[in-house]
Each structure stands twice: as structure tokens, then as C-alpha cells.
Amino acid sequence: MALSGMRGLSVFISDIRNCQNKEQERLRVDKELGNVRTRFKNEKGLTPYEKKKYVWKMLYIYMLGYDVDFGHMEAVSLISAPKYPEKQVALQSIGTTNMVGYIVTSSLLNENHDFLRLAINTVRNDIIGRNETFQCLALTMVGNIGGREFAESLAPDVQKLLISSSCRPLVRKKAALCLLRLFRKNPDVVNVDGWSDRMAQLLDERDLGVLTSSMSLLVALVSNNHEAYWSCLPKCVKTLERLARNQDIPQEYTYYGIPSPWLQVSVCVCVCNFLLSVISHTFRKRKNEILREVKTMRALQYFPTVEDPNTRRSLFEVLQRILMGTDVVKNVNKNNASHAVLFEALALVMHLDAENEMMSQCVALLGKFIAVREPNIRYLGLENMTRMLMVTDVHDIIKRHQAQIITSLKDPDISIRRRALDLLYGMCDVSNAKDIVEELLQYLSTADFAMREELSLKAAILAEKFAPDLSWYVDVILQLIDKAGDFVSDDIWFRVVQFVTNNEDLQPYAAAKAREYLDKPAIHETMVKVSAYLLGEYSHLLARRPGCSPKEIFSAIHEKLPTVSTTTIPILLSTYAKILMHTQPPDPELQKHVWAIFSKYESCIDVEIQQRAIEYFALSSKGAALMDILAEMPKFPERQSALIKKAEVAEVDTAEQSAIKLRAQQHMTNALVVTDQHSSNGTPQSVGQLSLVKIPSISGDVGSSCQEHTSADQELSQANGTLATVDPQPPSADLLGDLLGPLAIEGLPGAAVLSEPNAVSGLEGVPIPADDAAAIVPVEKDTNSVQPIGNINERFYALCLKDSGVLYEDPNIQIGIKAEWRAQHGRLVLFLGNKNTFPLLSVQALILPPVHLKIELSLVPETIPPRAQVQCPLEVMNLHPSRDVAVLDFSYKCGTSMANVKLRLPAVLNKFLQPITVSAEEFFPQWRSLSGPPLKLQEVVRGVRPLSLIDMANIFTSFQLTVCQGLDPNPNNLIASTTFYSETIRPMLCLIRIETDPTDRTQLRITVASGDPTLTFELMEFIKEQLAGIPTAPRPPAPPAAPGAQPTNPAAPVAQPTNPAALTDPGDLLAGLL
Amino acid sequence: MIQFVLLISRQGKVRLTKWYSPYTQKERSKVIRELSGVILTRGPKLCNFVEWRGLKVVYKRYASLYFCMCIDQDDNELEVLEIIHHFVEILDRYFGSVCELDLIFNFHKAYYVLDEILIAGELQESSKKTVARLIAAQDSLVETAKEQASSISNIIAQATK
């Protein structure tokens, strides 16, 4: 089929096809773009046909992946091409032009595109117009790219079309999906009150096209508000019956003999959504979270059922029919279509409160599927079996298929291998852990790179959780390190050390194993670390075995020294010192050797190594005193596995996470995992097995300060007992944190209980309320009966620099925050955790955004169940530079009292900065080209907090400003660069220069330059705040600061968060906040 | 919901793209690059699903062309696989045993067809007959418009002579 009439386009496509390489193609494309651009510029000569042709060309170029930064206007203008009904010819020719306009527009543009706003009116006229062709075109475009503005202005019209009796099916089905799009994107804008009756009517629709589209719409409506649509459920079941029995289905709607498989799938999804949304509304959780936790829900008898007995019976009958009536046939498409329905029916049965018989039918079917040769069915069999595990207690039946599943782990297809791994992970328990983990280990050596990390993490977790005995656990982890050392994170080997230290029986075994691995010719550095540590502590237990004399062990370890990095050397030095100490009577030769090593490292450039070398040298010359100082490591307090914690926090895979949680609850008693139940503060845990969701440990400010506290304690006690045997460098500060950190949140209720009775919380660490009153603005004095825990200001300032932590906490609730920033976009998740054993009611969260931020907060549940945590995602978009801060107005009811707090959200200027390194060649031309105000501002600031250049550089780095070394010839000056992202201006390079006076550190000259005057100003003010630590702009004397004075309103300085001068006046602060 | 539809040739050339979720041009290129790397290298006897960035891509190869649709994690894979086949059958009927060249030179027609099958990433019509009828009606609309436009320009040309 030739492209009659559009020769230019065909020629262009052939030209592109004839290009030999990418270079030629680009040249041809550039040429064409140039051509189109000039033609568009002198628009006068363009006929609608030409316009159409050029727009198609642009679409083609765009599809190839090239940027087309012009002509959008022309595409949009094709939509608005004038129509003259009286001139039929013109109408039709424009009709086609119009069509092009719509399709190209919807392909070229995203929903956020400005140009689309221009088209809304025309689109609306088309939708409400009488011309069916135009209606269809307009609906298709809106359905494919409709955004918020479209929803606001078009939704009512689209709704009218959908239920209009005068419209033909072809318009109505498009209207249904168009409405679905608008509703999905902006459920708050599309008004669907009273739509349940209309949806019920639509389900009686004869035309299956309209019915299919309407069913998709209903799926979305139900997940949003199931109660309103409950009346539609019987009709859904009837539709499914009609389809499954093939009653009254037009021939053209059967697909390979199956009555519209798509509609059947859709109905099953819809019914399933009814059931799931009941739960998701009770618990305010997302659908896929619910999916993973159905089992727990069921245990709590929260599981909804289809109550109407007739509907229930029909549904069961039809599901039974689908389950039993699906045969494997030769035709691939027929097979796929029937199995698509079958799998959906299976999923529905899983979530229905079905009889056991039906459930076991499902398991039997799945068992059959995972053994077939057809890869698609096998994949889906494995996937659904994993889902089934989450939902019901079918462990024992599934275990029968273990061998088959393990075969799939070796399948040539990585998709299937992944599913098999997930399933094995899910089905593992104490009884089969040994087999499964060994299988995983065996597979690890041949597994492809893409899977190794996941594999080793999963193997480590399983080994830890279900170890039948500890020596097996040690074996597994050492093998893991041996086979996939690169993928074994520090957490894993720290955990081994913990276990070995805490179990005396295990120590000789572990040391012997470590000794064996040292004999291997090439071992991974992690292996060197763990063996050195273990042998340092416990090698004396092996002393009588062959090859285990202190000398031999020393030389085995020392052999590895040249191959390891500087982080490992300190561990080796400690080991040497320990070996020396354990060698009784002292071996002068060994001593000489070790001392030689110590003195060699005494001048090491690495401070940690140097310090250890010097200290160990001095200590070991003291003789017997060494014994006391280098005594064995004390036992570690029991705690939750850092691995499991990590898996929970990382949110890698929700399925995995909740599997961990479920398992942790089920196997608390027989596994090694020390769950939070045994937290040291001994708070009685009323939740136990049935707790819905464990509040994960957001190690926020309190958490980490608590951690620091204990680790400091621990360090103290270590100093008494032994000399630091673990290196306190950054990686191992981590180690201390991980090994010793208590569970942040589980540790807290105790503290909360303590502080509750103290109306004036005078506890140590809890700041004076007066200070807080500044940040919490009481709406009415008496409503705020709860006192916050911790300093809200400090928390805010800390969060300005970090991306996760606690934003607010009081005896009832903890609000954690986790943020991800990418260019001008930010995604924050608020974690609202109820700390009580009773629900928090009337929870409300409002965002008061400043003008420069666009913030969308998802629905916040009205109730937070006891000891549960809800997550509320928050989308932030930066429109233009400003230092104003968004405020979260949060309130809840606890008992009879209302609590209300206003919290600043850490969506501050520096979050939209990204560090960038600028070379001298780039810097100077840029610096010179930005000459003078308003693009370049300079200011001398006096009376600042004296800071050394290094401190200043650190502050800069923490705010995402790159400090460029050596650009400024004067060593007292500092140059920094960064990129600022916002929606309205392109990514903007910002350059900063600070000139200091070495004789007077309290004065600075700051120069800021960027391509945008507002940005320059805001950044200048921002830096002044950070460096100066004093109010920078003249502050109006009276508290009621006009909102118009925003730019001059300094937010409280970050560098000195507790600066009392800035914080004591609540009025000022309120003004600063809003 | 279908997030996007890609048609990629065996050599990795893009033949058609349709995005139902907003992706910037840069992201689009990245997605295409990544997915061609994953999908084109897969052997013939493997399953038709690939897990990718928390989503799933259902693909099927027809001659030298890979049809890919990206869906959410809990969507029904087989259903989407058959949507692909449904699309191919309609293209086949429309072009008369469709080949890659048809789609290259008539990519705009392929868009018309796709728009009759999917809207908002959901299936809108499962009857091949209905889709064929609608496309035929559109085509005839274009044809008459063209004829009449040319006759008008003839008239104008004659009148201005």
C-alpha cells in the first residue's frame, strides 16, 4: 500500500532507511528538520496538506528518538483548523487534517505539555459537537494524554457522552476509556457521585465493545470506592456467567472460539477488586500491598466475602467451570486466551473465602503448570504459586513440588529463574531450608551476574532465619563469601561475627573453618576480613591442631596482607596483636616479626592504621598488661538482623518484605532471628503475632541519637575491655551502628511512656517546651495536650541535609519522612506511625505549599489502626527558585483531645541542587559572562560566625554545592558550583565565590552568579543564612509580617539551628513558616 | 494498564512507539535502548515475559518485528500477549498479509489502527470486524476529502485562468 499523495514523506522515510550509519541518519534528519522549520516560519504559504505532511515527518523523526523542539504549536494548531460546515469539502479535508493533528499531538506531547492547554477549547468543542468523527478523535486524544486541565474542563462532557442514548457505541466506548484516564490521573477532579447507578446500567449494555471499556472503568472506580458500587457486583457475576457459558455472544466477539477473553479477565479483576478494596479501605493501603498481606488479614478475620448467597453460588459455579473446563489445546492463541482467563480466575479464588476443595484444585492446577514445557505457562505457574503462598497456608502442598521448582532454577530463561528463586525463597522454612539454601549456593557459582546479588542476599537471609544449627549457618555464609564475595555486603559477615561471639560452642569450629579458607590460593577480601577477625579472637582454641600454631596462623594471615585494601589492614593489625597476646609463653621470633610490622605502619598515611600500629606496639611491649587490654570481645546484645532490617527498609520487593515479616512472625521461636519482641527496654508487646504491620525502624533522629548513645557506651566498655578490635573508620562506624544499634522505634515506646506523664517534659534530651512552641504553632492553646518528643527544629534542620529521618514525634505518633530528589522533582513518603494500642482518629494532613512548589499529597487515612503505620506519598515539583518552606498542617484526635502541629517540610532550596564539578576552562568564561547585577550579586557580610575554610567547604558540600579546589589563586577564597533545577527555567549552573579575610574571620565577601536573577538572589540569601547564622535581611519589627514580604523573610538559619534570637518569637516564626 | 507499546525490528530499529504514561524523550530513548538490549537477545524458546524495573514487558516476535507492551506487575500477561496478537491480526487484515515495510511506510495507518484498539492503555475493542469497519470508514473519509479537494483546486485553477 503506497502512501498516495504524501510522496515527500515516503521519500524521507526511504532516505532514512538508506542511511548507512547513525551519522548519516542524523545529518538527514537535521536537514529535514531545518527544512520543516523554515517552512513553518513562513507559514503563509502552507496548505493544510503541507502542514499535515510536515507534522507527520516530525512525528517520524521524534519516533526515531530525536528531539523535536519546535512545531508542537503547528501540530496543536491542526486540531484547531477551522471548520466550515457549509462547505462540506473543506470540512472533510480538514477532517483528515484534524485527524493527523490529534494523533500526532497525542504521540508527540506528554500530558504536562503547555501547548495542550491551548487546545482544550477546540477539543471541548469537538467533544460536544455533533460530528461523530471529531468526537472520536477528540476522545482518543484526551484518553491517551489527558492531564489535569483536561479533567477539569472536559470530564462532565465525557461523562454525558458515555451515558448518552443518542451516541453510537463507537463514541461511548471511547468515552468510557477517556473517562477512565481522567479519573485515574485525577480522581479528585472527576465527579463520580451517583455514578453507581449509571455503571450498573452500563453493565447491561448489549454492545460488547462498550461493555469491555465500561468494565475497565468500573475496575478503577471500585478500587477507589467499593461501597458505592457494591450493587454492580451481581451484574459483574452475571456477565461472567454469560461469557463463560457462551450465551448470546456475537460471533465477532469470540476470540479463537473463546467468548471475549479480555472481558472475562476484566470481570474477574473487577470482582477481585471489590474484595481487596474492602481491605484496602479499612487499612488504607495500596492494592498490591494488600495482595501480599491477605494472609494476615484473613487471620484477623478481616477478610470480606460475597454476602449475597445467590451471587456467591453463581460466582463459585462459574469459577469452577473455568477452573475445570480449561484444557490445553494445540492452538497457541486459543491456549493463551483460555489460560489468561484461568489464571485470573485462580487469582480470584485465592482471594475469595472459597471452600478448601476449590483451593486445593487451584494448587493442583498450579502444580501441573510448573511442570509443563510451555514456558509462559510455567512462568505463570511459578508466579501464581508464590502469590498463593502469601495468601493461604499451602506450604505443605507446595513443598511436594520442590524438586520441580529447583529444576526451574536452572532454566535457560532468566525470567523463569527469577520466579523460581522467588518461590523457593517464599516456600523456605525450617524443614527445607537446608536443601534450598544448598541448592542456591550450588547455583550461585553458575548463576549469571544479573542474579547473583539477589541470590546471595536471599541465601544469607534464609540461612540466618532457618538455620537448623549454627555451624551450618557459619558454613553457608563462608561458602557464600567464597563464591560471591563481591555480592556479600558487610552486614552479612558482621552477622556471622555476632553469632560466633555469642556462642562459645561455635568458636573453635568457626576458627577452624576460617583457617581452612586461608589455605586457598586466592580468596576474597571479605573472606580475609572475616577469617582474620575470627582467628584473632579464637585461634588459641585451635592451638593443638596441626598447622594452627600461632606462628603458622600468623603467616597464613600475613600472606594476604599485600593483597588487601586499607580498610582491611586495621583488622589484620588487631589480629596480629591478639595472636601475640595469646602466644604463651611469648615467642620472641614472632614478636620481633609483628613488631617490625607495627613499626612499619607507624608512619602510614592512613590515620587509623597508624594509630593502631603505634598503640599496639606500645601495648605489646608492656607484656602481661596486654592480657587485660586485649581480652576477648564481650557478647553482643541480641538484636534484629541488620540484613532483615535492610530488606525491610530497602523496599526492593514488597513481596519479599512481607514474606520476611510474615515469616518473622511465624518462626519467631525456632529461628535465629531475634525479633523486636525482645527489645531491651522490656516494654510489654501487646501486638505479637497479629500485629498488622511492624512499624519499620526509620532510624531517625531519635533513633540514631539513641544509636550513637549506645554505641558510645559500647565503645567505652570496649575501651575498658579491649582495645578497639573493629576499626572505627567510616565503614566500621557503620559496623558499630549496625551491630549495636537498637531498633529505633521499638526502643521508643518506653521513652514515650516515660515522658508522657511529665507535662513539662524535663527529661534529658527532650528540649524545653518553650523552644518548641516556636515551631509548633498551637491553633488554640488548650487543644494541644501532647508534647513533642525531641526538638522539632533540629529535626527539620537535620532533614534539610538528609533524605530520611523523623520529622515529628510525640507520645502518640511518629512521623517519619523519606525523600528522593531528582532534578526539580521530589518524591517524599510520610510514614505516619501510631505508637498506641488504640487507633488515632480524625487524622488530617494538609499541605500549605508556598507558591514556588507544586505539592500533591495522596489521600491520608482518617484513622490509623493501633500500632500500624501508613505511608502517604507526596509529590513535589519545584517551579521556581525560592527559600520559602512548605508547611504540613497535621492534626489528629487522641481520646478526646485534638492535637495539631504545623511542621515545616524539608523541601528546601538545596534539595533542588545537584553538585557539579566545573573546570577552570569552563568556570572563567562563565563567570565573566555573568557580569554584574541582577545575574551576579556581590555582598560583604560582617559579624558572621567564624568558620574555618574546611568547615565552610563541608557546609557547602552538605548543601550539594561542589567546592572547586584550586580555581581561585588565593588560598583564602573558596569557589563552589552547583546546578539548580526547576520547572520554569532550564537547569541552571550557579557559581559561588566566598572571599575570606584570614585576619578577621567574622567578615566575608560573597559573590553569587547564575543565569537567572531570582535564582541568584535566592541563592545569595540562602548562602548568607547558612554561613552567617544571623538574620540577613532587615526584619520588620512587628510580628505580623505581610505575606508579600516573603523574599526578605529569612528562614531560621540552618547552621545554628538553636539560635535563640531567631526562634523565640512565635509570631516571627509563623511568618517565617508561612 | 499498558504503559507503552513498542515495535522494534530485529536490528533494533524503532518502528512504532506509543506511550500511555508520560515519559520524556530522554527517558523514552533510554527505555527503548534498554529493552532492545534485553528482548532482542532472548532466545526463541523462552517465555514471552521479561521483568524490567518493577514492570513487566510482554513481547512477541512476528517475522523480523518484535511487538512489545509494558504492563504493571499484577496485570494479566497472557491477556496482553493476545492483545498483541489481536493487533497483529487486524494489521494483517488491513494491509493484506502485513510486512515490516508496510509498517515503515504507513506508520501513520498503524497509529490509526492502534488507536482503535487501545485507549488509555486499555483494550477498547475486541472485535476485529468492528475495528476493520471503523478504519475503512476513516479511509474513505480521507479519500473523498482528497478527491473533492483536488476537484476544487481544479475548479479554482480553471476559474483563475
Query: Residues A333-360: pLDDT tens digits?
Result: 999 999 999 999 888 888 776 666 788 8
With CB atoms and an 8 Å threshold, state whether B49 touches A252: no
Contact list, A110 vs chain B (CB under 8 Å):
19, 22-24
pLDDT at A1028: 66
Contact list, A262 vs chain B (CB under 8 Å):
79, 82-83, 123, 126
pLDDT at A597: 87
Most confident of A263-267, A734-738, A769-773, A778-782: A263-267
Between CA A7 and CA A17 the distance in angstroms is 15
E strand intervals along A211-283: 254-255, 258-259
Q: State whether residue A206 sits within 8 Å of chain B by CB.
A: no
Question: What distance lies between CA A929 and its chain's CA centroid?
Answer: 41
With CB atoms and an 8 Å threshold, state whether B119 touches A343: no
Return the higher-pLDDT residue of A489 and B42: B42
With CB atoms and an 8 Å threshold, state whether A1 touches B17: no
How confident is the model over A151-163, as pLDDT tens digits?
A: 888 889 999 889 8
Q: Is the dihedral of CA A1062, A1063, A1065, A1070 positive or negative?
A: positive
CB nearest B111 (choices: A3, A107, A184): A107
Between CA B101 and CA A687 the distance in angstroms is 65
CA-based end-to-end distance of chain B: 58
Contact list, B39 vs chain A (CB under 8 Å):
none
Q: How many CB pairs under 8 A join A and B?
A: 189
With CB atoms and an 8 Å threshold, state whether A3 touches B123: no
Given a cut of 80, is residue A716 above it in pLDDT?
no
Q: Chain A: give the shortest CA distance to residue B69, in Å.
A: 15
Searching chain B, which residue's CA lies closest to the CA of residue A60? Answer: B107
Given a cut of 60, is residue A753 above it in pLDDT?
no
Please give the CATH topology (third level) of the domain spanning A910-1073.
TATA-Binding Protein (3.30.310)
Searching chain B, which residue's CA lies closest to the CA of residue A16? Answer: B104
Mean pLDDT confidence for A905-923? 84
Searching chain B, which residue's CA lies closest to the CA of residue A15? Answer: B105
pLDDT at A908: 87
- DSSP conformational letter for A414: H
Searching chain A, which residue's CA lies closest to the CA of residue B4? Answer: A144
Q: Chain A: give the shortest CA distance to residue B67, in Å.
A: 15
With CB atoms and an 8 Å threshold, state whether A216 touches B74: no
Q: Measuring CA to CA, how many Å separate A132 from each of A92, A129, B11? A: 13, 8, 41
CB nearest B149 (choices: A60, A67, A89): A89
Residues, chain A: 1074
Q: State whether residue A391 sits within 8 Å of chain B by CB.
A: no
Contact list, B102 vs chain A (CB under 8 Å):
1
Cβ(B21)–Cβ(B38) under 8 Å? no
pLDDT at A934: 81
Contact list, A99 vs chain B (CB under 8 Å):
112, 138, 142
Q: What percent of chain A has pLDDT over 70?
A: 73
pLDDT at A741: 33
Model's pTM, two decimal places? 0.62
With CB atoms and an 8 Å threshold, state whether B47 touches A3: no
How confident is the model over A414-452, as pLDDT tens digits?
A: 899 889 988 988 888 888 888 888 888 888 877 777 778
Given a cut of 70, is residue A703 above it in pLDDT?
no
Show me where the domains of chain A are located. Answer: 202-354, 464-676, 757-907, 910-1073
Given a cut of 60, is residue B131 above it in pLDDT?
yes
Mean pLDDT confidence for A745-767? 36
Q: Chain A: give the shortest CA distance to residue B63, in Å.
A: 16
Q: Chain A: give the shortest CA distance to residue B27, in Å.
A: 10
Residue A54 among known ligand-binding residues: yes
Q: State whether residue A19 sits within 8 Å of chain B by CB.
A: no
How confident is the model over A614-645, as pLDDT tens digits?
A: 888 888 777 666 777 777 777 777 766 666 66
With CB atoms and an 8 Å threshold, state whether B79 touches A265: yes
Q: Chain B: give the shortest CA distance to residue A868, in Å.
A: 25
A971 band by pLDDT with thresholds 50, 70 and 90: confident
pLDDT at A658: 40
Return the higher-pLDDT residue of A768 and A535: A535
E strand intervals along B31-152: 49-52, 55-62, 65-71, 118-119, 122-123
With CB atoms and an 8 Å threshold, state whether B49 touches A212: no
CATH 3.30.70 corresponds to the domain A464-676: no
Searching chain B, which residue's CA lies closest to the CA of residue A379? Answer: B47
CB nearest B79 (choices: A88, A99, A340): A340
Given a cut of 80, is residue A8 above it in pLDDT?
yes
Q: Chain A: give the shortest CA distance to residue B68, in Å.
A: 15
Closest CA to A144 of A117, A172, A184, A114: A184
Q: Chain B: give the shortest CA distance to residue A1028, in Å.
A: 40
With CB atoms and an 8 Å threshold, state whether B127 touches A250: yes
A115 band by pLDDT with thresholds 50, 70 and 90: low
CB nearest A336 (choices: B1, B82, B115): B82
| Domain A202-354 CATH (choose: 1.25.10.10, 3.40.50.1220, 3.10.20.600, 2.40.50.140) | 1.25.10.10
Searching chain A, which residue's CA lies closest to the CA of residue B79? Answer: A340
Given a cut of 50, is residue A130 above it in pLDDT?
yes
Closest CA to A877 of A920, A827, A836: A827
Q: Chain A: give the shortest CA distance to residue B161, in Å.
A: 20
Closest CA to A135 of A186, A105, A107, A95: A95
The reply to whether domains A202-354 and A464-676 share a CATH topology is yes
Q: Chain A: give the shortest CA distance to residue B52, in Å.
A: 10
Q: Chain A: give the shortest CA distance to residue B65, in Å.
A: 16
Between CA A742 and CA A985 the distance in angstroms is 45
- DSSP conformational letter for B96: T
Searching chain A, which residue's CA lies closest to the CA of residue B103? Answer: A1
With CB atoms and an 8 Å threshold, state whether B82 touches A209: no
pLDDT at A464: 83
With CB atoms and an 8 Å threshold, state whether B78 touches A255: no
Most confident of A358-372, A499-513, A681-695, B56-70: B56-70
How confident is the model over A132-142, as pLDDT tens digits?
A: 888 888 888 88
User: From the candidates A59, A336, A344, A378, which should be mutated to test the interface with B, based on the most B CB atoms within 10 A?
Assistant: A336
With CB atoms and an 8 Å threshold, state whether A170 touches B134: yes
B149 band by pLDDT with thresholds 50, 70 and 90: low
How confident is the model over A38-66, as pLDDT tens digits?
A: 887 776 666 767 777 787 888 888 888 88
Given a cut of 70, is residue A1033 above it in pLDDT?
no
Given a cut of 70, is residue A734 above it in pLDDT?
no
Return the higher-pLDDT residue of A297 and A580: A580
Contact list, A184 vs chain B (CB under 8 Å):
1, 120
Under 8 Å CB-to-CB from A52, ≥6 apart: which residues?
A: A78, A96, A97, A100
Given a cut of 50, is residue A129 above it in pLDDT?
yes
With CB atoms and an 8 Å threshold, state whether B152 touches A89: yes
* DSSP, residue by residue, A1-39: ---TT-HHHHHHHHHHHH-SSHHHHHHHHHHHHHHHHHH
pLDDT at B10: 92
Residue A57 among known ligand-binding residues: yes
pLDDT at A78: 65
Return the higher-pLDDT residue of A104 and A540: A540
Task: Assign domain B1-158 to a CATH class.
Answer: alpha beta
Assigned C-alpha cell, A942: 560582617
Q: State whether residue A67 sits within 8 Å of chain B by CB.
A: yes
Show me where the domains of chain B are located. Answer: 1-158
pLDDT at A672: 36
Given a cut of 90, is residue B6 above it in pLDDT?
yes
Residue A533 among known ligand-binding residues: no
* DSSP, residue by residue, A183-214: HHH-TTTS--TTHHHHHHHHTT-S-HHHHHHH
Which helix (DSSP H) or strand (DSSP E) does residue B154 occupy?
A: helix B128-160
CATH number of the domain located at residue range(s) A757-907 in this protein: 2.60.40.1230
Q: Chain B: give the shortest CA distance to residue A657, in Å.
A: 15
Between CA A410 and CA A268 the distance in angstroms is 33
Between CA A911 and CA A878 the distance in angstroms is 10
With CB atoms and an 8 Å threshold, state whether A340 touches B25: no
With CB atoms and an 8 Å threshold, state whether B77 touches A110: no
pLDDT at A83: 42
A1048 band by pLDDT with thresholds 50, 70 and 90: very low
Mean pLDDT confidence for A1023-1051? 48
Contact list, A62 vs chain B (CB under 8 Å):
25
Report phi then psi at A1073, rounded to 5: -70, -45
pLDDT at A281: 60
Q: State whether residue A288 sits within 8 Å of chain B by CB.
A: yes
With CB atoms and an 8 Å threshold, state whether A209 touches B81: no
Searching chain B, which residue's CA lies closest to the CA of residue A252? Answer: B127
Return the higher-pLDDT residue of B9 and A863: B9
CB nearest A253 (choices: B17, B74, B126): B126
Given a cut of 60, is residue A1050 above it in pLDDT?
no
Return the higher-pLDDT residue of A778 and A949: A949
Q: Spell out the SS3 assignment of A30-80.
A: HHHHHHHHHHHHCHHHCCHHHHHHHHHHHHHHHHCCCCCCCCHHHHHHHHC
Cβ(A176)–Cβ(A217) under 8 Å? yes
Residue A56 among known ligand-binding residues: yes
